[in-house]
Amino acid sequence: MYNLESLLNKALIVKVSGDAARILLIERLVLNIISRASGIATLANYTMNIAKQHQWSGIIAGTRKTTPGFRLVEKYALLCGGCSTHRFDTSSMIMIKDNHIMAIGSITLAVKKAKHLASFVNKIEVNKNFNFSFKSPNSFTFISCKGRM
């Protein structure tokens, strides 16, 4: 999964100074946040490397919901791993999914209704599931590939 060269490249993530008692109060919280972000960035980078190995020219984007209160951290971790953040929140664009298409009856009608309700500056994206997924090694994470219409 990892090559030796990437493991040897090290970077200072955080440098802390101050009162030891106060540092120790927040140490575990900070380590947990860094660990979570590092895991997201690592999986994002791993996914990007698989795409490159298969000469895939599409965009890998984090389209899943984020952990409440951690949106900014998790979106930044995706960027660090080489993926796109897709949209920051639900106000960033209108996204039409399979269930919307099924409820309205067609992609064309769903887009027409969205255009009617949206401002001219809103991007409208249609996500259609291609049912392509893979299991990453050493974990139970499944990543689905979504396509743009």
Q: Are residues 35 and 78 in the same domain?
A: yes
Among 86, 111, 132, residue at a domain's last position? 86
Where is pLDDT greater, at 8 or 72? 72
Q: Are residues 99 and 82 in the same domain?
A: no
Catalytic residue among 10, 15, 52, 65: 65
Residue among 98, 147, 146, 87 at smallest CA distance from 122: 87
Q: Are residues 136 and 78 in the same domain?
A: no
Q: Per-residue pLDDT tens for 125-138? A: 887 665 544 454 44
Q: Region 12-24: what's the mean pLDDT?
A: 89
Q: Are residues 78 and 114 in the same domain?
A: no
Total domains, the chain: 2
Q: Are residues 74 and 10 in the same domain?
A: yes
* 53: helix, strand or coil: helix
**Residue 112 bears catalytic tag:** no
Is the CB of residue 86 less than 8 Å from the CB of residue 116? no
Q: Are residues 43 and 75 in the same domain?
A: yes
Q: What is the pTM of this model?
A: 0.65
Q: Tell me the residue range of the domain where 124 lies.
A: 93-149
Among 42, 69, 86, residue at a domain's last position? 86
Among 86, 104, 134, residue at a domain's last position? 86
Q: Are residues 61 and 106 in the same domain?
A: no
Other beta carbons within 10 angstroms of residue 23's beta carbon come to 12
Give φ, ψ of 13 to 5 degrees. Answer: -90, -45
Q: Residue 147: which pLDDT band, with cuts at 50, 70 and 90?
A: very low
